[in-house]
Structure 1
Amino acid sequence: MPHTDTPETQRANRRFMRHAMTVPLLDKETEFELARRWREDGDEQALHRLTRAYMRLVISLATRFRNYGLPYGDLVQEGNVGLMQAAARFEPERGVRFSTYASWWIRAAIQDYILRNWSIVRTGTTAAHKSLFFNLRRLRSLIDSGTRQTLRQEDRIFIAQRLGVGVGDVEIMDARLTAGDRSLNATLSDGTSDDNAAEWQDMLPCERSQPDEEIMEKHDGEYRSRWIAGALEELNERELLIIRERRLRDEALTLEALGARLGISKERVRQIEHLALKKMKAALLDKVPDPQGAGLLG
């Protein structure tokens, strides 16, 4: 849901921006000296002078993200956090201007804030999804100039290839961006006078089995267990060992491991396993009219 700044906040933002634009920029030697004094001597006056000079950079980058429905003042404050992080990590001896280095940190801080607060559902959990979130609207405008409500399949493929993500990711993110968060307690109808109106949560499918299905599954499971136990009684000791280790364990032993354990070749283990399964199948056919339908044979 978009957040709207109050008139008082908007006036305060404008005053802050006007003041920030009056602070003179620094030349290369001055900013390097200020950065050195802050890093080596902990000179807070040097830090304040360095960051104030590039507050206009924070404002410029924050303005690019105003269309995400979050308070502009918050975007600027998060950008300030990124600016402070850049000042703490800046190494002037590398020969890079502070403004170039700080731009990455400012943008990263603002984008992280947007991803955390744009929706109550976490968005952009990977680098690819983050790129998709911030570039999808731009690529959509290149495709259809905003004239279509939904993307065509060829459009999704084009965007996926440009950003290195899956087509399904593009479809999901496009749906997220075109429809905001919706409460599950919101009614399906727009009439607020109907206290008995169905809610969106009423439309969610239940993945659990129905009570009668659970009882039937339990009943059938007990029968299957007895049938299989009876079939296992038809096996001799070696056959039973092989079936248990090969078919009834979460992690089955290999033919080689069982062969070494029993002192026989892996091919002989395979033959014994095959014969044991045939015995079990014959025993089940004697007791169960339709073992395939009972879920015993696949």
Structure 2
Amino acid sequence: RSVLLTRDEEYTLARAIQLGAHVHKIKSEYESTHSKPLSKRQWATLAGLSSPNELRKVVSEYRSAKQELVASNMGLVHAVVKNYSRKAYYRGITIDELVQEGSLGLIRAAELFDPAKGLRFSTYATIWIKGVLSNSRVDEMVLVPQRERQIWNKIREVSKDVDDEDGRLSTDMIAKKLGLDKSSVEQNIQRMSSVNNMLSLDYQYASTTRSGETDGSKPFEALMADKSGSDADLAERAQFKADLVAGLVRNLNEREIQLIRLMYGMHDGHEYSVKDSAKIMGINRETARLLHHACLKKLREASNMESLQEYLLTVA
């Protein structure tokens, strides 16, 4: 359950977030201008901090403050989502997916909120939550025929038990269980996956979203699948996803992003094999395999996967 904050508490948290955002902006601008990573000592010096230890403290307080501000206001997301629930139902979108989409707006509000303007955070955040939901696919999508929704619901139900030998989702087995031809299953998955695109990649977190990630104890698949937990858990998962998507946007091209999202459950919650991902994308299996290896190499070598870097900074 969300915990209401006083105006003074909001002010304190917002100031910690503003300081952290300023420190991150310094880092981003330096690395953009010089095309090389900034060391922790250089970063601290440029930010006017006495040492890497003080930098670590600022980053840690920034993460904690943003997490608390978001978690304490998740009730706003639930309240706003109620106005979209009927429309979402007819488009095959779940309430959980709407909540996570709205959470992105709440996170953005926490990053940009300035208490000096005189607004309470709840007023400012509600504007952002409504804005994200209004500009998401919830309003843009065409009406999905009832038959397609019914097939999709059946696919989601049987897919829990139809992993192939690699632990990936097998469209062959889904089709066999449902008595449908494989092409119909693939077409439905492709259509409904685009409908359920909870993490819109055109939502540009690339330059502003920062830490708030999980402690790394759960695999990403578990975070995607976990529907339980407190508002703090929901906020943390939403922030983690936003950071991860931002990392993909910064480092991969559109086709590479599509493949990674399919193979690692970021498209509709299911993990697809290289073979099935290739078919959905309209490329051959070998091309998909080589593309997958190229993606992983890019991400391993990327110097700007900031969520992971910042987490390591705060625990090192």
Normalising by structure 2, we get a TM-score of: 0.31
Normalising by structure 1, we get a TM-score of: 0.32
- Larger Cα Rg: Structure 1 or Structure 2? 1
